[in-house]
Structure 1
Amino acid sequence: MSSVGPTAAAPTGAIRRPSLAGAAAVAGAVCLALLIAALTTAAATGGGARSTVRAAVLAALVLAASAVLGATLSATRPSVTDPLRERLLDAAAVAAGLQTVLAALTAFLLYLDTAPAPDDPAFGPGLVTFVADVPVGRAWIVAACAAAVLTALLVAVRSRAAGALLWPLAALALVPVAVQGAIGGAPLAPTRAAAGGILVLLLALGTWTGIAALRTLRAPVPARGVALACLVAVAVALGAGAAALRAVGQAPPVAAVALGAALLVVAAVVRGLPALQLVLLAAVTGLGAAATATRALPTVSTRTTPSEILTGAALPSPPTPRDLLLDLQPDPFWLTVCVALLVGYAVAVRRVATPWPRGRAAAWTAGALLLAWATSGGPAAYQAVLFGAHLGQHLVVLLLVPTLLARGAPARLLAAAAPRVRVPAGRPLAAGAVVVVVVLVAFAGPVLRWSITDPVGAEASLAVALLAGAWLVRSVTTSTRRTEAVAVVAVLLVLEVLGAVLLGTGSSLVLADWYGAMGWGVDAVSAQRSSVLAALPTAMLPTLALLVPALRRRDRATGSGARSTVAG
C-alpha cells in the first residue's frame, strides 16, 4: 500500500504522464494549422498545387520551431527536475531535426518552380546551382544547416548552464527564415523592418505556441506572463510591419491582420485553457503561412538617381537637428528589445523588498529610450545614406546606451530579485580589446557594406556593439583591477581622438563607392570630416564617465580599504 495520500502533490517540475486528450489536442492543432494553410492558399491561388504544398510545409516548419522554442525555454526553469529537462531537450532535438528536413524541402519546392523536368540531365546540376548561387535557395539551405547544428547541440548539451544558450541558438536558426519572408525588391529600410518584424513574430508566436502545447500535455512549464509578453511583442512587430508595407506603397492586409490579432487576444484571455489557446495559436500559424505563400511582391519602380539605385529609395533632404531628433524609421526588432528592457526592469523592481532608487530607474529608462531613438529614429533613417549618421548610431549603441543602462544597476537589481542568479564581473583588458576589435571590424569595408545593405548585417552589427559596450562598462565598473580599468579607459580615449583625427583630417573616403556616390551635391570628404568631428563627443563623453567609477575605486582602495560596488 502506498504511503502517499490521495491529496499529495507532485513536486514542482516532476514528470507527469500526458493525457490522451492532451495528445489528441496537440495533434488536432497541428492538423488544423496545416489545413488552414493549405485551404487558404488554394483559395487564393486558384488551386495552385505547389503554393499549397509550400504553405503547408511552412506551417509545419513554424510549428516544429515552436516546439524547439517552447521546450528549450522550459528546460531552463530552475525548478525543472533533471529527468524532465532531459525529456524536454529530447523533444526539442526531434523537433529541430524535423525543422531541418522541412527547411531543405522548402528549398527543393522553390527550385521546382523554375526547374526543368526531373528526367532532364540539367535537373541535378540546376539544383546544386540553385542552393549555391541563387539567394533564396542559399538562404533556405542555410536555414536547414542552422537547424541541423541546433539538433546536434540539443543532443549533446545537457547541463543547466549551457542549456541557457539553447533558446538564443534556436532563435538564430530562424533568422534565415525571417529574411526570406521580408519584402523582396523593396528599399533597404522597409526590407530590414519587415525582416525584423517577421523574426519577432516567429519568436513570440513560436514560444507561446510551444509552451501552450507543453501545458496541454500536462508538462509543468512556466506560463505566467508568457501570453502577455508575446502579445506585446506581436503588437510591436505588426505595427512596424504595417509601416514598412506603407513605405513601399502597399496596403497592409487589414482583414488578415485583424483576424489574427483577434485570435491572439482571445488566446491571451483563455490562458487557463491551454488546449483552446493552442488551437487558436495554430490557426494563426496557418493563416500566417498562407499569407507568406500568397503575398504579392511590390512593384519595383524605375530607379534612375544614385540613391535609388543603391538604396531603392529617393535621397532624403539634408538632415537638420530636428530631422535627426524627430524622424522615425521603426525597427520592430529593436523596439521589441526596448520594450522588453523596460518591462523586465519594472517587473524586477516590483519583486524587490526594499524601495528601489528612482534615479537608477530613470537612468535605465533613459538608456532604453535612447536605444529606441538610435535604432528607430533619425540616425536609423539616415544611416544608409550618411556615414556620419551610421557612425553616430553605432557609437551611441556601443558607449552611451550601456553607460546609462549600467547606472540603473541591473546586476544589483537582478541579485535582489533573484538571489540565486549572479552576474560575474568582467576583465577590463579583455573587454577593452573586444571593443577595439568590434569597431575596427564593423567599419572595415566588406563588413560595413554588409551592415548597410543586408538586414541580418544591420541588426547583427548593432547587437554586437551593444553587447560589447555592455561588457566594457560592466568590466570597468565592477573589476577589482583598478589600475587596469583606468588604463583601459585612458587607451580608449586616446584611440577615439586618434580615430577622429585620422577620419576628420584625412582625404580618404570611407566606402567611397557607396557614401560618396549618393549624389548629395557637396564634397563627400568635407561632409565626412564634419560628421566625424560632430560624432566625437558621443564617444568621448561616456568614455570619460567611465573614469569616475574607476578612479573612485582607486581612492577607496588607498583609503579605508577596497570596497567593491556593483554598478550593474
Structure 2
Amino acid sequence: MTTTSPASGTDKSDGAMIDHDRLKDPSGIRRILIAVMMVLGSVAGVLVTAASAATALKLTGLPDAGNLTTYGIPVVTVVGQISAAIGFGCAMFAAFFVPPQRSGILDAGGFRAIRWAYAAMLTWAVCGLMLVPLTISNQSGHSLGETLKPDNLMNAYGQVAEARYWLWTAIFAIAAAIVARLALAWGWTFVVLALAFLSLMPSALAGHSSSGGSHDIATNSLIIHIVAAAAWLGGLLAVLAYAFGDGRWRTLALRRYSRVAFWCLFAVGISGVINALVRMPIGELFTTTYGLIVLGKLAAFVLAGVIGGLHRAVTLRELEETDEPRKSLFVRFAAVEALVFAVAFGFGAGLSRTPPPVLSTADVTPMELKIGYNVDGAPTLARLAFDWRFDLIFGTAAIIAAVVYLRGVYRLRKRGDAWPIGRTIAWIAGCLGLLIATSSGMGRYSPALFSSHMMSHMMLSMLVPVLMVLGGPVTLALRAIPPAGRGNPDGPREWILAGLHSKYSRIITHPLIAVTVFVGSFYVLYLGGLFVAVVENHSAHLLMNLHFLLSGYLFYWIVIGIDPAPRQLSHVGKLGIVLGALPFHAFFGVALMMTTGIIAEQYYKGLQLPFALDLAADQKVGGGIAWATGEFPLVLVMLALLIQWRRQDDKVARRFDRREERDEDAELEAYNKMLREMKDARD
C-alpha cells in the first residue's frame, strides 16, 4: 500500500521512501534531444518516402491515397518507434542498470525511468492507433478522410492484416503504460519490460518481411533487429538522463549499458544485412532505390556504433578517474549517437514504404507464401538429417546457450573448481537437440507435415528439456558468477537468487500447475482446436516452440532438476508425479491416432506439396510419434531419479557415519541399552 506525504514530497511504501525532488529532470537536454530526434527522424522518413513513392505506387498498382497518408505514415511510425525504444530502454534501465532500494522499492533513478517508460509507451499506443486508419488508407488507395468513416473503417479493418497488427501494438503498449504508471516495486519492471517487448512484435510480423519467399528468415531477423535497436537507443537515452540527474550509480549504469550496446551493435548489423539480402539480390544494393535506402540505414547504424564505442570508452575512463566529471562529457557521449540513430529510424520507416525489387509474388508458390520456402520432395531419412534451414531465433539461442555454458565451466576450471563432466555433456546434448529440432530437416519439414511437426514438438518438450535440466545451468551460474559483495548493488547472481525465491517461482513450480501446463497444453492445442486457428501464423510457430520448451523444462525441473527449486519434493513424490503425468501423455498419442477428422486440413491442402501425401495417414504417424517418443524420456527420467535417490541415501549414510564417529556410536549404544532394559524388565 502506498501513501503520499505532501509535506515531505515523498512516497512511502513499507517504510521505503522516494524523494520526488530527485525525480525532477535537472535540465531540458533530454526533452530537447528527444524532440530533435523525432523531427530529424521524421524528416529522414519523409525524404526517403518521397524518393520512393512513385516506385511504390507503380509496383503495387494502387491509387495514390493522398499526401496525408503517404507522408503521415513515416512521420507517425518514426515518432512511435522512437517512443517504443525509449519505453523499452527505460524499463530495461529500471530492471537491470540501477539497483532498487534494499526493501525492493525502486530508487529515485529507477522510478524516474519507469515513469518515462509510462509516457513513452502511451505515445507508442497513440501512434499505433493512428496507424490503423493510415495503413487501411494506404492499402486501399482511399483518402484518409474517406477511410475514417465508421462503416468504411470497420469493413476494411478485417481485410487488412497490417491494421490488425497495429491495433495489437496499441493494446500491448497501453497495458505496458498502465503497469508502468502503477509500478513502484522492482519486480514490476519485468512486467513492463515484457509488455513493451510484446508491443514491438506486431510490427516485426507485418510488412515486407511477412510476405513472399523466405519470410520466415526475414521475420525472425526483423524481430532480432527491432528488439536490439530498441534496447540500444532506449538504453542510451535512459543512461544519458540518469547521468544528467547526477545518479548515484551512473558509472555502474554506463558500464552495464556499454555491455548491452556492444552486443546490440552486432545483432542490429547482422540481422539487418540478413533481412536485406532475403528481400533482394546483393547485386541490386547499389542499383535500386530500395538497396540505396538499405545502405543508408546500415551506414547510420554503423556510424552510431562507432561513435558510441569511442565515446563510452572515454566516458568510462573519466568517470572512474574524476570525482566530478564534466556534464558536457555526457552530451558528447550520447547526443550525436542518438541523432544518428534517429536518422536510421527514419530510413527504416521509409524503407517499410518502399517495395523491394523482388517483392513480386508471381513466381512464389503457395507453399512459399505460407511457410516461406519450398520442400524439395517427400521426407526421407537423408532429407530429415541433412536438408537444413537454420532457425535464426532458436538455432541462435541453442548456440549462445552452449557457448555461455561452456564459458561458465571454463571459469570454474580456471579457478580450480570442479564441474561434473556429465552435466556438461547433458547440456551440450540438449542444445544440440534444440538446434536439430528447429534447424535440421526435421525443423524444415515441420510446418509442412504434421508428422514432422509432432516429431519436432516431442523433441522440444520431452527430450531437450530433460537434457538441459540435467545440465544444472542455474547451479553453474550461481557458482561461476561472483557475488556482488556487501554494500555493492545487486548483480546477475543476486537477480537469479531473487527469481528463485520469489513467490511467482513458488506458484509456477507447484506440481499441479506444472503438470497441467505440460500435459494439458497437448489436449488444448491439438484436440481443442487451437492448432487449426494459429497454424498459418509464423508468430504462432515461434510461440508454440517456446511453449513446448519452457513447459517441458518446468515439468522436468521439479522432477529431476539438479538446480535449487522453490519447492522441495521427496523422491517418492517426484516418482508419483512422473508416473501420474506420463500416462496422460501416452493417452494423448492414442487419442490423436484415433481421431477421424484431419487437423488443419485446409492449411495442409493449401500448401500444394510437390508429392502425394495421405493427410489421414500422416496424422496417425504423428499420433504414433507422440505415443512412442514418451518412452525414451521416461527411461531417462527414471534412471536420473534412481541415481539421485541413491546419491541422497549415500549422503545421508555418510552424514550418519560421521556423526556416529564423533559421538563414539552414542546412538547405537543408547539403542542397545534400551534393548537390555526391555530384556531385564521381562526377566
TM-score between both structures, scaled by the size of structure 2: 0.71
Q: Tell me, yes or no, if structure 1 residue 130 matches structure 2 residue 149.
A: no
Q: Tell me the residue number matched to 2:18.
A: none
Question: Which residue in 2 is equivalent to 1:469?
Answer: 552
1:182-227 CA deviation, whole Å, 9 max, x = no partner? 445425xx33333322222111000100111123334433313112
Matched, 1:112 2:137: yes
Match of 1:295 among 333, 352, 355: 355
Taking CA–CA contacts closer than 8 Å with sequence separation of 6 or more, which of the two structures ends up with the larger relative contact order?
1
Q: How does 1:389-468 map to 2 (within 5 A)?
A: 389-416=452-479, 417=481, 418-420=492-494, 421-422=496-497, 423=500, 426-444=509-527, 446-468=529-551
Which residue in 1 is equivalent to 2:485?
none
Aligned match for 1:495, one of 584, 594, 602 = 584
Aligned counterparts of 2:604 and 2:458: Cα–Cα separation in 1: 18
Question: What code does the residue aligned with 1:104 have?
Answer: L
Q: Give the equivalent residue in structure 2 for 1:201.
A: 225
Find 2:169's aligned residue among 135, 143, 146.
143
Q: Does 1:267 align with 2:330?
A: no
Q: Cα 1:18–1:443, aligned 2, differ >3 Å: closer, same or farther?
A: farther
CA drift of 1:256 comes to 4.0
- Cα distance change on mapping 1:91 and 1:223 into 2, 3 Å: same
Give the structure 2 partner of residue 53 of structure 1: 72
* Secondary structure of residue in 2 paired with 1:186: coil
> Which deviates more, 366-375 or 71-80?
366-375
Q: Is the 8 A contact 1:182 1:198 kept in 2?
A: no
Aligned to 1:9: none
Instruction: Classify the secondary structure of the residue corresponding to 1:223.
Output: helix
Quote the offset at 1:406 in angstroms. 1.9
8 Å Cα contact 1:486/1:551 also seen in 2:
no
- The amino acid of 2:468's aligned partner reads L
Q: Is the 8 A contact 2:294 2:351 kept in 1?
A: no
CA root-mean-square deviation: 3.5
The answer to whether structure 1 residue 383 and structure 2 residue 407 are counterparts is: no
Aligned partners of 1:445 and 1:511 also within 8 Å: no
The runs of 5 or more residues in structure 2 that have no matched partner are 1-21, 56-65, 102-106, 244-249, 313-332, 482-491, 562-567, 655-683
1:280 is aligned to 2:280: no
Matched-pair contact (CA < 8 Å) for 2:204–2:222: yes
CA deviation after TM superposition for structure 1 residue 530, in Å: 4.0
Q: In the TM superposition, what is the alpha-carbon distance from 1:70 to its structure 2 partner?
A: 0.7
Displacement after TM superposition at 1:314 (Å): 5.4
In structure 1, what is the Cα distance between the partners aligned to 2:643 and 2:185? Answer: 39
Secondary structure of 1:443's aligned partner: helix
Percent of pairs with identical residues: 22
Alpha-carbon shift at residue 317 of structure 1 (Å): 0.3
Structure 1 residue 121: Cα displacement? 11
Q: Distance in 2 between matches of 1:347 and 1:369?
A: 17
Q: 1: CA distance between counterparts of 2:200 and 2:230? A: 10
Give the Å deviation of 1:26: 4.2
Cα distance, 1:544–1:279 mapped onto 2, change above 3 Å: farther
User: Which residue of structure 1 aligns with residue 199 of structure 2?
Assistant: 173
Which of 21, 31, 39 is matched with 2:47 structurally?
39
* Deviation (angstroms), 1:31: 2.7
Deviation at 1:411, TM superposition (A): 1.2
- CA drift at 1:236: 4.8
Q: Which moved more, 1:84-93 or 1:478-487?
A: 478-487
Partner of 1:92: 117
Counterpart Cα distance in 1 of 2:424 and 2:300:
35
Residue by residue, what CA displacement relative to the aligned partner does 1:80-108 show, whole Å, maximum 9, x if unpaired? 55111111110000000100111111112
Partner of 1:224: 258
Normalising by structure 1, we get a TM-score of 0.84
Aligned-partner residue type, residue 30 of structure 1: M
**What code does the residue aligned with 1:43 have?**
A
* CA gap 1:334/1:256 in 2 versus in 1, 3 angstroms: farther
1:234 aligned residue: 268
The one-letter code of the counterpart of 1:442 is: L
Q: 1:281 to 1:403 in 2, by over 3 A?
A: farther
Judge which range, 109-118 or 217-226, deviates more: 109-118
Distance 1:313 1:71 in 2: 38
1:236–1:335 contact (8 Å) kept in structure 2: no
What 5-or-longer segments of structure 1 have no aligned partner? Answer: 1-13, 564-568
Query: How far apart in 1 are the matches of 2:274 and 2:443?
Result: 14
* Separation in 2, partners of 1:392, 1:290: 42
Alpha-carbon distance between aligned partners in 2 of 1:120 and 1:69, rounded to the nearest angstrom? 35
What aligned pairs does 1:76-87 form with structure 2 within 5 A after superposition? 76-77=95-96, 79-80=99-100, 82-87=107-112
